[in-house]
Amino acid sequence: MNRQAEALREYLIAASLTKETVEKRQLGLIYNNIGYIYYIQNFKEKADSVYQLMEGIAQELKDTILWAEALSRQGSIAFMKGNDYFPIAEEKLLNAFTLADKILHNGIKANISAGLGCLYSRADQGKKALFYAKLNLSLRKDTARAYQAFLILGDAYYRVGQYDSATFYLNKSLLSRDYGRRADAYMRLADIAMIQGDAVLSMKLERYSSTYKDSLYQSRENIVTDKIVEAETDAQIMLHQLYYRGRLNIYLCVFIPITIIVIMVVFFLYRKNKQYRGKNDLLQKNNQQLEKVNQDLSQHYACLQEEITQRDLEIENLRKELASCRIDEEQREKLRVELDEMVLRRKALVKEAFLHSPLYAKMQAIIKDHLDKDASDKEISDQEWQELIVSMDSQWNNAISRFHVKYQLSKEELYLVCLSLTDFPFAHLAYLMHSSRRTLYRKKNALCERIGVEQNSEFKEILRKI
């Protein structure tokens, strides 16, 4: 694959990726490069389609430079299609010239003038061809090596019958290394020689022209259509690979974040310590340890839940015995003491279960994110809020339910009360509720005022009295 085909592949990929952003002007510039490669490789229809897309972006952005460039290229392509398309080419080029003239962009204006010079020369409108050919040369920065401008100007002089001037500029264009330019210049010089009656010189110059045309053909044989098609295919394949790779990354980030983190940590340690040869063993060992820790936590949490259920049954049985009339006061007092101890043990179990729950781990992670980087992409769901309410209510013997019913707490007030009963500092609760500290303090003081207690009162003390 030649360099132009490689460049086309990269530009096609860049264009597809840039479409997903808001960088419209950058996309227009990429289209300009794609269109130019198609243009010089003789894919005129594809080039024209790309320049039309570029024109649409330029009109949307009101970017005069892009607009003039797109119109200029479309005009040149129409010009190359033949005489039937000359009116379209003229309209496009003149519109581009008007735009370039407004912004005083000499580079684009020179290119458009060159196109108009060639167009009018082909249409045998010598005066217009000469005007734009001269303008083209005058706008060039390096007029000593403007070989294409010399060729266009020489051809324009030929059209108006000024053969000496035509010969002068055509000879200057022969210094170019471009075979196509030399072939055209020699052919025009041959025409002049024939007009001036020098048939021998004319035939000699025609042979030169044919030689350069053959060389041009041979030099372009290597730039074949299948290279461009191959570049387009490669671009599509790479874009599909990028798409599926992106989908896979999303899947991995959503469903197995812990595994990815472990692998990255292990890989980082491996790169830092090249002498360590047991990378795969270490990774497997870490994964097993992580799985074992998670299993142990899950088993411990399940055991705690089972033990809490058992305690609930025992507490219920004790309460039924206390309510029975078949026991004396001494037994009743003994059962009451046993019930109080069991309630305390149950409360401790509920608290321990909460401290080993996934919800508590998530709350710790949210607070840590805010302390480390002032933000977190995690948040507590409605279901997890309900889990927190049930856990705190269970720890406090349904005092939260009674408090909620008595004072008709709002949802946010209920969340604030439950969070205040955890071991987290009150200032950190703002991270869990996605609010500011000032707002939380204001809500707490307003609630304290509504229930008739001092503003600095703790909810734990309030609930003990309910």
- What ranges make up the beta strands (E) of 330-462? none
Query: pLDDT digit string (tens) for 107-116?
Result: 888 989 999 9
Sign of the dihedral through C-alpha 273, 276, 280, 283:
negative
Structure tokens at 103: 């912004």
Mean pLDDT of 388-403: 87
Residue of 421, 413, 370, 429 lying closest to 393 (CA atoms): 421
Per cent of the chain over pLDDT 90 is 26
Mean pLDDT of 444-462: 85
Residue type for position 258: I
Between CA 265 and CA 272 the distance in angstroms is: 11
Q: Residue 335: enclosing H or E segment and its boundaries?
A: helix 329-355
pLDDT score of 189 more than 90 = yes
Provide the pLDDT for residue 382.
92
Residue 280 backbone zone (phi > 0: left; psi -120 to 50: alpha; other: beta): alpha
Between CA 453 and CA 440 the distance in angstroms is: 17
Between CA 185 and CA 205 the distance in angstroms is: 9
**Which letter does DSSP use for residue 398 in this model?**
T
Please say whether the beta carbons of 7 and 15 come within 8 A.
Answer: no
pLDDT score of 152 more than 80 = yes
| 198: Cβ contacts below 8 Å, ≥ 6 apart | none
pLDDT score of 287 more than 70 = no
pLDDT score of 245 more than 90 = no
- 161-167 contact pairs (CB < 8 A, 24+): 161/126, 163/192, 163/195, 163/196, 166/192, 167/192
Provide the pLDDT for residue 13.
85
Query: pLDDT digit string (tens) for 252-285?
Result: 676 677 878 878 777 778 777 655 565 566 557 6
- What ranges make up the beta strands (E) of 275-394? none
pLDDT score of 171 more than 90 = yes
Name which residue leads in pLDDT, 158 or 17: 158
Minimum mean pLDDT range among 110-124, 179-193, 314-328 = 314-328
As a whole number, the mean pLDDT across the chain is 82
Between CA 380 and CA 68 the distance in angstroms is: 55
DSSP 285-303: HHHHHHHHHHHHHHHHHHH
Residues composing the chain: 466
Rounded to 5 degrees, φ, ψ at 49 are: -65, -40
Provide the pLDDT for residue 293.
52
Mean pLDDT of 178-190: 90
Provide the pLDDT for residue 314.
65
Q: What is the pTM of this model?
A: 0.49
Provide the pLDDT for residue 355.
84
Query: pLDDT digit string (tens) for 403-441?
Result: 899 999 999 999 999 998 888 998 899 999 988 889 999
Provide the pLDDT for residue 273.
67
Rounded to 5 degrees, φ, ψ at 435 are: -140, 175
Which residue is listed with tokens 């948040």? 379
Query: pLDDT digit string (tens) for 32-91?
Result: 888 888 888 888 888 899 999 999 988 888 888 899 999 999 998 998 888 888 999 999
Provide the pLDDT for residue 457.
79
